[in-house]
Amino acid sequence: MLPEVWEKIRDHPCYSEEAHHHYARMHVAVAPACNLQCNYCNRKYDCSNESRPGVTSQKLTPEQAVRKVMAVASRIPQLTVVGIAGPGDSLANPGRTFETFRLLQEQAPEIKLCLSTNGLALPDFVDDICRYNIDHVTITVNMVDPVVGAKIYPWIFWNRRRLTGKEAACVLHERQMRGLEMLAERGVLTKINSVLIPGINDEHLVEVNRAVKERGAFLHNIMPLISDPSHGTYFGLHQQRGPTAHELKEVQEACSGGANLMRHCRQCRADAVGLLGEDRSEEFSLDKIEQMEIEYDRKSLREYQWRTETEVIVQREAKKEVLALAQANKATGALKVHIAVATKGGGRVNAHFGHISELQVFEVSATGVHFVGHRRVESYCQAGYGDDEGLLQIIRAINDCHAVLVAKMGSCPRKELSDAGIEAVDKYAGEIVEVAALSWFNDYSSRVAGGVGTHKTPDGAVIRQSAP
Ligand code: CLF
Ligand code: SF4
């Protein structure tokens, strides 16, 4: 990777899977209007192209947004990126969007700027994007064929006219591709978001992946449609379902070899704050930030980030060592397993099983540890007691995993997990995720090869060998 590209992504939690363990982003909800209609959107809620559907953010003026950024930066030193991702489309609100970025450039020039758009207005604003040093732009591209597009977008508003059907999809497609090419020519990193809509664009997304790669996209993020009748969207009301985890994985696999895929997206809110996967937006509501003392101390932020960079390098070296051990272990062979990890960030196994709201899933083999995705779960520990229904839900969510690595776990859930062929492992508490994963994998593969303990076949059957 070119050094200048690496510099742009090394601390961007969305553009680098490694960075998402260590660095935080926040969104400021300054952009309420939109210039088109997606069938998975209801304007009562935030833009679903970069946000979790069914969520409504508190709208901010540019001045309020900047105050909020300074408040967050003075309390969350991991913050490296500020994005505008709604609640409508950032470029359908150019005045508010670019005024926010202008103020941020003045007051916190070290923070990276990011925006997300449906792409309709993009070609008109590429100069502004470059002027304000916005180095990362996400474009939602759900189709490259207007016949498919007409099933997703009932209308667009363009050149003071409302266009519908194939004509609308044609204009949108042409504008998205032109915008992408213009950004690539100017060296702006682009990520493409595609909403996977079964029966509409599932087979088509391979073509989208190819088209955006050809035009210089850096990353492709395929997000599952979340469709709920209670959200009142066209798709929700017409029983358009979202994809299963398996369908999503199949489409991602069909796209592999094309544009690089992002797999760690959390479909966050238009006012999200914190590490991906944690949501601290409520700590920074308007009334709270108005009362907060803001101490934006550049020196201590730089020191914090220097310590983080050192930690990332230490982790990388430790991973190499343990990977060499796994490769030298003949028992690992072609074995490939999934494991779930309870982490609160920092790249370490550091969360209590009873308190997790998501588990990160990795594929582990002698080739390394690869992030597969995250699984949302309800916290198992409710008011000090284990919740049986919650445990079943967690087991269903990670049923494809051979082990769950946690910082701590009570005795109650272990039996049910073991019955499902999921080993509960707490001996790597505080360890680096990949080091823990590979150490466990080394041990597990030796046990399987030696014919002892429990193991799980690729189709999920649990086999109990002679007692260890
Ligand atoms: Fe925000 Fe998007 Fe920038 Fe990231 S989110 S504007 S690129 S700073 Fe990230 Fe959130 Fe997924 Fe978006 S996890 S929804 S990909
Ligand atoms: Fe809704 Fe975003 Fe689509 Fe606009 S671009 S209709 S805000 S999902």
* Count of residues in the chain: 468
pLDDT in tens, 323-380: 998 888 887 888 889 999 999 989 999 999 988 889 999 999 999 999 988 898 888 7
Name which residue sits closest to atom 6 of ligand 2, judged by CA.
37
Tokens of 214: 């050809």
Strand bridging mode 36-37 / 155-158: antiparallel
Q: Distance between CA 74 and CA 258 in Å, rounded?
A: 40
Q: Distance between CA 409 and CA 354 in Å, rounded?
A: 7
From the list 335, 355, 368, 350, the residue with the least C-alpha distance to 437 is: 368
- Tell me which residues of the chain have a pLDDT lower than 70: 49-56, 383-384, 458-459, 465-468
pTM of the model: 0.87
Domains of the chain, earliest start first: 3-290 (3.20.20.70), 328-465 (3.30.420.130)
From the list 54, 36, 405, the residue with the least C-alpha distance to 233 is: 54
Q: What is the structure's pLDDT at 191? A: 97
Angle at 371 between CA 432 and CA 46, to 5 degrees: 110
Residue ranges of alpha helices (H) inside 57-193 are 62-75, 94-107, 126-131, 146-149, 165-185
Please give the helix or strand (H or E) that residue 248 lies within, else none: helix 245-255
| 93 ligand 2 Cβ < 6 A | no
Q: Which residues lie closer than 8 Å to 120 by C-beta, 6 or more apart?
A: 35, 36, 89, 91, 92, 156, 158, 171, 172, 175, 176
From the list 358, 331, 325, the residue with the least C-alpha distance to 342 is: 358
SS3 state of residue 109: coil
Q: From the alpha carbon of 267, which atom of ligand 1 is closest?
A: 14
Tell me, what amino acid is at 375? R
Cβ atoms of 269 and 226 within 8 Å: the answer is no
Longest dimension (CA), the chain: 74
375-409: burial string, b at 16+ Cβ within 10 Å, e else = bebeebbeeeebbeebbeebbebbebbbbbbbbeb
Q: Which of 49, 91, 138, 275 to mutate to test the pocket of ligand 1 (most atoms within 8 A of CB)?
A: 138
Measured in whole angstroms, the distance separating CA 147 from the mean position of its chain's CA atoms is 29
From the list 250, 195, 202, the residue with the least C-alpha distance to 227 is: 195
Tokens of 294: 């803001």
| 176 ligand 2 Cβ < 6 A | no
Q: From the alpha carbon of 81, which atom of ligand 1 is closest?
A: 8
Ligand nearest to the CA of 191: 1
Helix axis angle, 433-450 relative to 298-328, nearest 10°?
10
Name which residue sits closest to atom 5 of ligand 2, judged by CA.
118
Ligand nearest to the CA of 47: 2
Residues with CB under 6 A from ligand 1: 14, 25, 27, 50, 81, 83, 85, 114, 116, 136, 138, 191, 221, 265-268, 276
pLDDT in tens, 251-309: 999 998 888 999 999 888 778 898 888 888 889 988 899 888 888 888 888 888 899 99
| 226 ligand 2 Cβ < 6 A | no
Q: From the alpha carbon of 48, which atom of ligand 2 is closest?
A: 8
Tell me, what amino acid is at 313? I
| 41 ligand 2 Cβ < 6 A | yes
Burial class (CB in 10 A: 0-12, 13-18, 19+), 278: middle
Residue 355 CA to ligand 1 centre (angstroms): 25
CA dihedral over 319, 359, 193, 212, signed as positive or negative:
positive
| 88 ligand 2 Cβ < 6 A | yes
Q: Distance between CA 204 and CA 342 in Å, rounded?
A: 35
Q: Distance between CA 253 and CA 250 in Å, rounded?
A: 5
Q: From the alpha carbon of 42, which atom of ligand 2 is closest?
A: 1
Angle at 264 between CA 32 and CA 241, to 5 degrees: 65
- Give 3-state DSSP helix, strand, coil % of the chain, rounded to 5: 40, 20, 40
| 118 ligand 2 Cβ < 6 A | yes
Residue 183 CA to ligand 1 centre (angstroms): 18
Cβ atoms of 43 and 34 within 8 Å: the answer is yes
